[in-house]
Amino acid sequence: MSTAPHLVVIGIGHVGSDVVTNAAALGLFSRISLIDVDEKVRDGQALDNHQATAVAPAMTSTITAADYDACRSADAIIISAGPSVLPDSYGGGHDSRNSLAQINSKVIREVMGNICQYTHSAPIILITNPLDVNVHIAATEFDYPSNLVVGTGTALDSARLRRHLADWAGVSPDSVQAFMLGEHGATAFPYLSHASIGGLTLAEATTALGLEPLSPEQVGNSVVQSAFDVLEGKGWTSSGISKAAVSLARAMLLDQRSIHPVCTLADGVLGFHGEVSLSLPAVVGGHGVEHHLDIVLDEWEQEKLLASAAAVREVYESVRSSGNGTELNPRRG
């Protein structure tokens, strides 16, 4: 990492603009470069964010509009390009997810092709949906080091799960340790067999706090539905996912070796051998994904993981042969 870290953000829609705002507020990056197919929007967003750095307390980042050659000096790249997910495509509509994949797989292939002209060493953090499919494309089709290709994964799903469990137990989310795993989407599932509240297993917390027992299926459905509720009301999600992306960039640049449920190529973990990308707990540090945790799943969780992997793989196969060459609009994240 350089002494003055440089972040490149590709795709300046709802999510991308929030990424820039959060990254500037973090104070870690001396430069933030914005890339978007719509140069007018790119320039306006860059100017807006750059002027905001002078509002007290003043920020140290220089924020500018850029082209792909900015990737040459990037210490981290965040991709939020492509149309945003629609409510029915997140909530289980197979045709809608496939339609989004047909569009955004082309976007990601174009974006990765442009990035690879200038670097194969900067960590890449993907947000673009369908996330797991796009991570798999980026990690397997461009000879980019797979440990440096990371999706935000189920970080946001896991935050929703912790919020759900905290509300159930009547405690702060800071006291809850729990992950959603698998696909970032309808087939994500709660990893409750090893979740904890204040050091207690959920079974112990249920007894200690006098609570009604939880159903993993109902918890998972509730967490997935909560994402749909946000999309249905607001039209997009941006606040949580942008913070998650910036948090991953910080973990890499500061070599924090913190544990995140990131989406990566699943190779040599839980019986997978590189045939799919999905979210599992991993140590994230200066070399990107350092390694996955050797977690133990119960029978229900194992079934859910395999079903989630199959769903991701099915969508990937539908776009596997998709070429470039279609008119693209890599923006609206």
Catalytic residue annotation = 184
What is the pairing mode between strands 258-269 and 200-201? unpaired
Q: Check the annotation: does 219 bind a ligand.
A: no
Q: Check the annotation: does 333 bind a ligand.
A: no
Q: What is residue 118's DSSP assignment?
A: T
Task: HSE, CB side, 13 Å, CA atoms: give it for residue 32.
Answer: 35
In the three-class reduction of DSSP (H, G, I as helix; E, B as strand; rest coil), residue 214 is classed as: coil
Q: Check the annotation: does 67 bind a ligand.
A: no
Q: Check the annotation: does 151 bind a ligand.
A: no
> For residue 142, which of 287, 324, 6 has the smallest C-alpha distance?
324
Q: Check the annotation: does 104 bind a ligand.
A: yes
Q: Check the annotation: does 32 bind a ligand.
A: no
CA–CA distance from 98 to each of 3, 94, 305, 318 (Å)? 42, 6, 20, 8
What is the pairing mode between strands 62-65 and 76-79? unpaired
Q: Check the annotation: does 36 bind a ligand.
A: yes
Reading the block at residue 265, the tokens are 């190529």
CA distance 220 to 329: 33
Q: Check the annotation: does 43 bind a ligand.
A: no
Q: Check the annotation: does 129 bind a ligand.
A: yes
Q: Which residues are annotated as a binding site for NAD(+)?
A: 11-16, 36, 104, 127-129
Q: Which residues are annotated as a binding site?
A: 11-16, 36, 104, 127-129
